[in-house]
Structure 1
Amino acid sequence: MAATIIRRHIIVILMLSLTACYRQSATYLEGSPSALVVDDDLSAAEAQIVASPGATDAIGYTGAQVYSVSPSYEGALTLREAVRRTLRFNPALEAAAIEVDAKRAESVQAGLRPNPVIEGDVQNVGQNVQEATLELSQVILLGGKRLKRIRAAELDVGVAGWDYEAVRLRVAINTAEAFVDVLASESRIKILGELLGVAKQLKNAVSERVDAGTISVIELKRTDIEVIRAQALLDQERAHLAILKRRLANNWGARSADFGYVQGDLATTNHLPSPSQLSVFLSSNPDVARWTTEMMRREAVLNLAKANRVPDLTVGAGARNLRDGNETGAVVGLSVPLPLFDRNQGNIAAAQTRLFKARRESMAARIDVNSQLLEAYGDLVVASEQLKALEKQILPTAREVYADIEQGYLGGKFNLLSVLDAQQTLFSTRLEIVNARAEFHKAKVKIEALIGRGLYDF
């Protein structure tokens, strides 16, 4: 149940992080934070994938949650669709799901009783005193070994389930970050396209003044350089976008970008909760939560090791035929090892040591996840402060300065270098804003995935 709640939270958070146009796609039922309502635009199978992936039968892998080939998706790709496709087609996630099924199969094996043994024996072959014995024996497990073995195997399935959730979380984060990178690159291409247009307009204006003989032809060559530079930057960003799109598509196993463009919103907020408010929710993170189950598993392994020091009893019964008198008699057997030397001391000590180790590993996992939270929060704050300065102070001033200098240049008050400098400052500022917004959203996605809830829910 806990795993279901956590994975539902993670998927909702990642899907709502950027897609402002899809804000009504998934909501929580009032009073039940774990109850996810999925929109009608999802098919029944897809809704099942989003709500409870990893569902399998008692033993076998159903194959319902991951597929080997993803379909092409032309046109706009939202974060919602990107994450959903990753959860359906990612090979690493498929491997983790198969491992859960393997553990389930091992759990079934752990519950099986020993097979009975049938044994035949003939003595004094060819003599008048020949004896033939047929005996059936059965090992009887003592010390509760079977139940303890089942308990350890079931908890092993639980640990594998948490490992699946951890992989699921990582691939979803990777997809969200790759999506943000593509979205930011598309924004940069738009800005660089505007820069190229402005550079060409300025070149035309300078060309007219050169033709009129009011300025030197050197000024025109300078504008030629700016047009070439702007075109080169645009071409570089387009090539970079192609790489980023392939990287995004790789998350669901596609070898090339199988979508046209991404659609989302890089808007930010100034309201940020404190790290202490966020850290209280780290216990729901799979890398932390798994250790509760892992320590229970290791304790079960210790109990099984203690049970294994109790010898098992073997009982048998059969019939023996005596050729000499053509008589048949009953045979009853009973055997039990004497635990004089091997009382499973080494395995018990190893299990005790690993249980102690698990407690330390649990603490280390909590510290590691908390460090990831603090690092992501630091990135979030840095990006937020940078955006405040860029959007509220630098950008308005840069726009005003550029407009004034451009107007003054046409009136002969400023030279071309002043125009180019103001132009460079304005467009560089706009590009910095896009980059800062991208860093903000990547940090936001990571934080929300770590704590299992939305950053704006505080």
Structure 2
Amino acid sequence: MAMSHPAIAAADAAVRQAQGRAYQACLSPNPTLQYQADEVGNEGSAGLHSVGVSQSIVTANKLALANQTLRQVVQQRVADRERTRLQVLTRVRTAYWNALAAQKQAELTDQIVDLAEQSLQSVQDLLDAEEVSKIALLQARVELENARIEAENAKVRADVARRALAAASGNDSIGSSHLVGTLGAGLTDRPWDRWLQTIEATSPELAAAGSELERARWALRLACAQVTPNITGQIGVGVDTGSDDTFARFGISVPLPIHNRNQGNIRAARAAIAAAGASIDATRLDLASRLSQSITDYQTALQRYHRLNSQILTDAEETFELSRQAFQAGETNFLQLLTAQRTLFAARLNVLDAAKQAHVAAAAIDGLLVSVDSPN
């Protein structure tokens, strides 16, 4: 899934593009072939004809410096590719937990429909025995229809969530697949205090920011080297058609760095170094802030899940069972049974939601907190 995803394929192409530019930067300029004719037609003469070659000689190690500057861009694109891979992975993980939770919720609403149908039949039997009023029957019918509506809506949400998972993973077949998994799996306390060090050591965002700082430093060295002018040498041979004499041509040209000593680019490169250093600090602070928020989200959802699953759900199940027995024995009315039933299934839905929220928060941390708001 990962390497075949179009977003990762595009990021990989960007790496190759940067590699090509870095390679191009270290290539020496081509020589120039020249033909020159002088004094053509002077006193009927065919003139002087010569052929020569000129070559620009790059000085001050500029080619190597340019290559090193662009190699840092390659490292940035590599970090961007890793960030994209983590974005895709985080999207898939998030979409999976959303889809699994939606599927479980749809299954739960089916159970609510089954229970509502059983309750309606029980009320009908009691009504036939003249042990309850028609009001209870009407309430049971309303509850059943509401349960059916919720079940239908839950199925729609599950289908939409599976399609979102298929889009995130780039696998269309997932959209019609039954997902396998347990929402409660892996929901344990983790040593989050060590996560910031791990993220700072492996974050592609910090890696890209560090490469930008190195690029800026190499760019400053290149800007300083460009003060030294390149040299252009010429050599050639010619013939004087009037005397049939041959002659050689030699030449050398060097720009004089009088007015332009690359001052503006040097200043810009120094400012870029300062900006890149500040960007690293800003990225580190942003990662710490995102980690803090994700840890808060995870711990909150985890505590909610454990509290719901271990205490509230148990009490709700017992309350419902006792209410059902009391209703069948004629010791309570249908409204109390209905309230207990709604409380039970609300607790079960809340358990699923808390587990989903915990997994989504964990997915963000496992993905090194990369933003998934945009493909890049």
Normalising by structure 2, we get a TM-score of 0.94
Report Cα offsets for 1:264-303 as digits up to 9, x if no partner: 22224442324x3221112211111222222111111111
Unaligned runs of at least 5 residues, structure 1: 1-84, 453-458
- Indicate which of 271, 274, 280 corresponds to 1:353: 271
1:11 corresponds in structure 2 to none
Do structure 1's residue 245 and structure 2's residue 162 form an aligned pair?
A: yes
- Structure 2 contact 216–273 (Cα < 8 Å) conserved: yes
Q: Which amino acid aligns with 1:137?
A: S
Deviation sequence 1:57-114 (CA, Å, 0-9, x none):
xxxxxxxxxxxxxxxxxxxxxxxxxxxx2x1332222111111111111122112110
CA distance in 2, matches of 1:173, 1:279: 18
Match of 2:39 in 1: 124
Query: How far apart, in 2, do the equivalents of 1:224 and 1:392 lie?
Result: 32
Shift of 1:127: 2.2
Contact 1:91 1:252 survives alignment (8 Å): no
Q: What is the distance in 2 between the residues matched to 1:243 and 1:451?
A: 25
Aligned counterparts, 1:290-309, within 5 A:
290-309=208-227
User: Bigger CA drift: 121-130 or 233-242?
Assistant: 121-130
Higher helix share: 2
1:439 to 328, 334, 357: 357
Q: Residue 319 of structure 1 contacts residue 331 of structure 1 at CA under 8 Å; is this kept in 2?
A: yes
Distance 1:265 1:303 in 2: 56
Selected match of 1:101 from 16, 19, 27: 16
Task: Return the letter of the residue paired with 2:7.
Answer: A
State the AA in 2 paired with 1:425.
T
Aligned to 2:251: 333
Shift of 1:257: 4.7
Q: Is the 8 A contact 1:281 1:451 kept in 2?
A: no
1:162 aligns with one of 64, 74, 79: 79
Change in Cα spacing, 1:270 to 1:104, as seen in structure 2 (3 Å) is closer
Q: Tell me the distance in 1 between the aligned counterparts of 2:57 and 2:7.
A: 42
Residue matched to 2:108: 191
Match of 1:289 in 2: 207
Deviation at 1:204, TM superposition (A): 0.3
Contact 2:290 2:369 in 1 (8 A): no
2:184 is aligned with 1:261: no
Distance in 2 (alpha carbons) for counterparts of 1:281 and 1:88: 24
In the other structure, the counterpart of 2:261 is: 343
Structure 2 counterparts to residues 310-329 of structure 1, below 5 A: 310-329=228-247
Unaligned 5+ runs, structure 2: 371-376
The aligned amino acid for 2:354 is A
Q: Is the 8 A contact 1:131 1:321 kept in 2?
A: yes
CA distance in 1, matches of 2:248, 2:189: 86
Match of 2:324 in 1: 406
Number of equivalenced pairs: 366
**Is the 1:402–1:422 contact (alpha carbons within 8 Å) kept by the matching residues of 2?**
yes
For residue 346 of structure 2, what is the aligned residue in structure 1? Answer: 428
SS at structure 1 position matched to 2:96: helix
In the other structure, the counterpart of 2:25 is 110
* TM-aligned CA deviation for residue 235 of structure 1: 0.4
C-alpha deviation, 1:329, in angstroms? 0.9
CA contact (8 A) 2:159 2:175 kept: no
Q: Structure 1 length normalisation: TM-score?
A: 0.77
Task: Write the distance in 1 (CA, Å) between the matches of 2:158 and 2:69.
Answer: 49
**Contact persistence 1:202–1:223 (CA under 8 A):** yes
Q: Distance in 1 between matches of 2:16 and 2:176?
A: 33
Aligned to 2:152: 235
Given residue 248 of structure 2, which amino acid in structure 1 is its aligned partner?
A: A
For 1:270 and 1:163, locate their aligned partners in 2 and report how far apart those are by CA, in whole Å: 31
**In the alignment, residue 201 of structure 1 is paired with which amino acid?**
Q
RMSD: 1.6
Q: 1:390: which partner in 2?
A: 308
Partner AA of 2:81 in structure 1 = Y
